[in-house]
Amino acid sequence: MAEYAAQGKMPEVLFFVGCAGSFDDRAKKITKAFVKILNNANIDFAVLGTEEGCNGDPAKRAGNEFLFQMQAMMNIEVLNGYGIKKIVTACPHCFNTIGNEYPGLGGNYEVMHHTQFLKSLLEDGRLKVEGGKFKGKRITFHDPCYLGRANNEYEAPRNLLEKLDVELLEMKRSKKNGLCCGAGGAQAFKEPENGTKDINIERTEEALETTSEIIATGCPFCMMMMTDGVKAKNAENKVEVMDIAEMIASADDL
């Protein structure tokens, strides 16, 4: 983004990569897949790069409002400094926090989840998606809590899957009733409390019941939890966990 600013240009959209998308090996693949799609569709976009910081969601949900607001204000300073208007992110946590909680602290942007953004590209005819290798495949979609219940977006990811001509199989608990993967509320950074089962195992079992070949999701943290769940169930050769952006990128063989 600094380069854009130096040239006095303004990108169409800012891609807020997020911590997982920047550092987690699995999530980085989602980042790259999404960037491939953006490049392929000739979208003029920028990233903050080293000027980006954690949006503060895990700190806030863990109860550390100070740390959250520090992070938020720093990001807002940077974003406002560049005059950013529109943000897209591949992480529902960044999406929710920046979209819902930054306005109260002086950060007002149009924020889109990457599935919403891709859907809008399709509608505008700037992106074409064909089923390719996913045509007819049995696929279930795991609703990320911070995209679904938190912000009522259930259709954008499903619309994209429909475009891939997949056979969409819903889990018993989906959409409004979707079961959390177990990562939210800063749980991703700690061991779970004592119980009879881990949440990601419960959710993975439910996904496996659908006999899907792919578990699709739209969140790097759900990705981690579901991938771990699939490993724990020794189902790696039966089912793959993929982000919708990865599916679209690989369907088009980008």
Partner 1 sequence: MQYIPNIIFFIVLVAGVGYFTLNVRKLIRNIKLGRKVDASDNVSQRWSNVFRIALGQSKMVVRPIPGLLHIIVYVGFIIINIEMLEIIFDGLFGTHRVLSTILPESLYNFLIGSFEILAFLVLVGVIVFWIRRNIQKVKRFWAREMKGWPKSDGNIILYFEMVLMILFLVMNAADQQLQALGAAHYAEVGAFPISQFIAPIFSGLSEASLVAIERGAWWLHIVGILVFLNYLYFSKHLHIILAFPNVYFGRVEPQGKFKNLDSVTAEVKMMMDPNADPFAAPPEGATEAPSKFGASDVMDLTRTQLLGAYTCTECGRCTSVCPANITGKLLSPRKIMMDTRDRLEEVGKNIDKNGEFQPDGKQLLDNYILREELWACTTCNACVEACPVSIEPMSIIMEMRQYLVMEQSAAPQELNVAMTNIENNSAPWPYNQMDRLNWKDEN
If binding is defined by CB under 8 A, does position 37 make contact with partner 1? no
CB of 200 to partner 1, least distance (A): 9
H or E element: which one contains 243? strand 240-243
Query: Between residue 172 and residue 211, which ones bind partner 1 under the rule CB under 8 A?
Result: 173, 176-180, 182-199, 201-203
Spatial distance between the Cα atoms of 6 and 12, rounded to a whole number of angstroms: 16
Query: Between residue 41 and residue 70, which ones bind partner 1 under the rule CB under 8 A?
Result: 47, 49-50, 52-54, 56, 58-67, 69-70
Residue 117 in tokens: 């953004």
**Which residue carries 């759900």 as its tokens?**
222
The C-alpha R_g of the chain, in whole angstroms, comes to: 18
CB of 235 to partner 1, least distance (A): 19
CB atoms within 10 A of CB 3: 9
What b/e sequence results for 109-124 when a residue is b if at least 16 CB atoms lie within 10 Å of its CB, and e otherwise? bebbbbbbbbbebbee
CB of 230 to partner 1, least distance (A): 17
CB of 211 to partner 1, least distance (A): 22
Spatial distance between the Cα atoms of 239 and 233, rounded to a whole number of angstroms: 11
| Binder of partner 1 out of 145, 160, 161, 244 (CB under 8 A) | 145
Interface positions with partner 1 (CB under 8 A):
17, 19, 21-24, 28, 31-32, 47, 49-50, 52-54, 56, 58-67, 69-71, 73-74, 96, 100-101, 104-105, 145-146, 149-152, 173, 176-180, 182-199, 201-203
